[in-house]
């Protein structure tokens, strides 16, 4: 849904390009600063060299990263739709 003289999908392409640019910038920043750790920030176990080379700037071992990814994310109980019921309470 583009407006004006823009073609269909132009807005989505712009958003995707912005995201790709930011990810590239962050990756370049991690590589430039060489922030890879030799030991995990949480459990102090050694991080394998292959993982550090594959993910420059890595700070967690595989086990800690998997545990963090699988942890349940709690969210607030705010109704963001703005229904009339939520506005009356």
CA distances from 53 to 21, 62, 67 (A): 22, 14, 21
Evaluate if pTM is beyond 0.75.
Answer: no
The 10s digit of each residue's pLDDT in 12-55 is 899 999 999 998 887 777 655 556 678 888 898 999 999 888 88
Residues 39, 48 contacting (CB under 8 angstroms): no
Predicted pLDDT of residue 21? 92
H/E stretch holding 7:
none
């Amino acid at each position: 849904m583009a407006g004006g003289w823009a073609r269909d999908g132009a807005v989505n392409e712009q958003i995707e390009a912005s995201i790709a640019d930011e990810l590239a910038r962050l990756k370049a920043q991690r590589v430039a600063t060489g922030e890879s750790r030799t030991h995990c920030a949480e459990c102090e176990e050694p991080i394998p060299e292959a993982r550090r080379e594959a993910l420059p700037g890595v700070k967690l071992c595989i086990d800690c990263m998997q545990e963090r990814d699988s942890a349940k994310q709690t969210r607030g109980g705010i109704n963001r739709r703005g229904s009339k019921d939520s506005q009356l309470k």
